[in-house]
Amino acid sequence: MEVKETISISIDGKQITTEKGKTILEAALDNKIEIPHLCYHPKVSKTGACRICLVKINDKLLKASCTEPATEGMKIITEDQEIKEIRKGILEMLMAEGEYNWEEDSELKKLAEKYDCLSVDSIFPKNVRDKDFISSKGLKRDENKCILCGRCVKACSEIQMMNVWGFSARGSKNRLTADMFEKIGDSTCVACGTCVQLCPTGALSFQTVLGEGKDSELEKESSICIYCGVGCKIDFYKNKKGELVKALGCDDGPNEGHLCVKGRFGFDFVQSEKRLSAPLIRKNGQLEEATWDEALDLVASKLGEIKKTSGPDSIMSFSSAKCTNEENYIFQKFMRAVIGTNNVDHCARL
């Protein structure tokens, strides 16, 4: 086992030990010391674009902690009055050309609240940019909330490896494009939603699948994705009405926070009005509601009759991707142990 070299540094007067080669921000976060940041995310490579994570090194140098390596004996101050004023100024410049209604929670909103700049009176004219709320069935984009931090670009290229998002133009005309198209729906985007999950400002968001509700009002419940054998862990969010509103990848699962389009959006069937709430039995050519006991007795008698007259291999089964792994296990066990056949199939592409 490789033994990694460690160094000792001081952060806000607290002596800590960290691995050699880690940045100041990584060392701080590893030791539960919070340094504000926007462009940095542990899932993608370092950018050093937003400069919100500035810290003071050895009482004089101001450096971006997300890109500055920690070195032996370094003394770091994460925040003092000077740093507060600089951060507030940076935030005001980042938001100067944008439009923010702060309806939803975001990392940017929390920082704007902390540094008292939710309302920015800027001498710069507003650079009103496009909104794309309908071209994609999965995602929405409001570029007026974008600070060009680059998280979505790296999420798409480094995690999903689709390279859909990119920057175009220069200066004040710099903007995001999807495969160089104006609309997300015209691009090769597969609507995995990774870019939305990493966006710190709300410029990218999900099309609401079921119901509505602010993030602060939503209740989280974790579950396992039903669609394939990977077993991705999902954090589902429901509103006050109990409606599922959105799904985010959970970092604790084998997916490490990532989801495909099915895991991200394939839960709209849960509250569909088309779902059967009671068994139906065809009587005189018409489907009529029945009790579960009546329906199960009918199925058991029919299967038993077919097995007796034609043998167990005359029966085949097709399981559902919208059932849990446990339900599918019981189903195949029933077919093998009770019916006596291996004719069991399953399609995760339903």
Nearest to 157 by CA among 149, 166, 148: 166
Look at domain 119-271 and name its CATH class.
Answer: alpha beta
Supply the pLDDT for residue 282. 94
Map out the domains of the chain as residue ranges: 6-79, 119-271, 291-347
Of 322, 315, 321, the residue nearest 344 (C-alpha): 315
- pTM of the entire predicted model: 0.81
Q: Give residues with Cβ within 8 angstroms of 117, minimum separation 6.
A: 88, 91, 92, 95
- Give the three-state DSSP class for 123: coil
Give the SS3 label for residue 216.
Answer: helix
pLDDT the model gives residue 296: 95
Q: Mind listing the pLDDT tens digit of every residue in the chain (350 residues)?
A: 667 899 999 999 999 999 999 999 999 999 999 999 999 999 999 999 999 999 999 998 999 999 999 999 999 999 999 999 999 999 999 998 888 888 888 999 999 999 999 887 766 667 778 899 999 989 999 999 999 999 999 999 999 999 999 998 888 788 889 998 889 999 999 999 999 999 999 999 998 766 666 777 889 999 988 887 788 999 999 988 888 888 999 999 999 999 999 899 988 888 888 888 899 999 999 999 999 999 999 999 999 999 999 999 999 999 887 777 788 899 999 999 999 999 999 876 55
Place of tokens 């019981």: 330
- Residue 318's nearest CA partner among 328, 306, 304 is 328
Query: What is the topology classification, in CATH, of domain 6-79?
Result: Ubiquitin-like (UB roll) (3.10.20)
Q: Which pLDDT does position 209 carry in this prediction?
A: 63
Distance CA(191)–CA(195), nearest Å, equals 9
Contact between 53 and 37 (Cβ < 8 Å)? yes
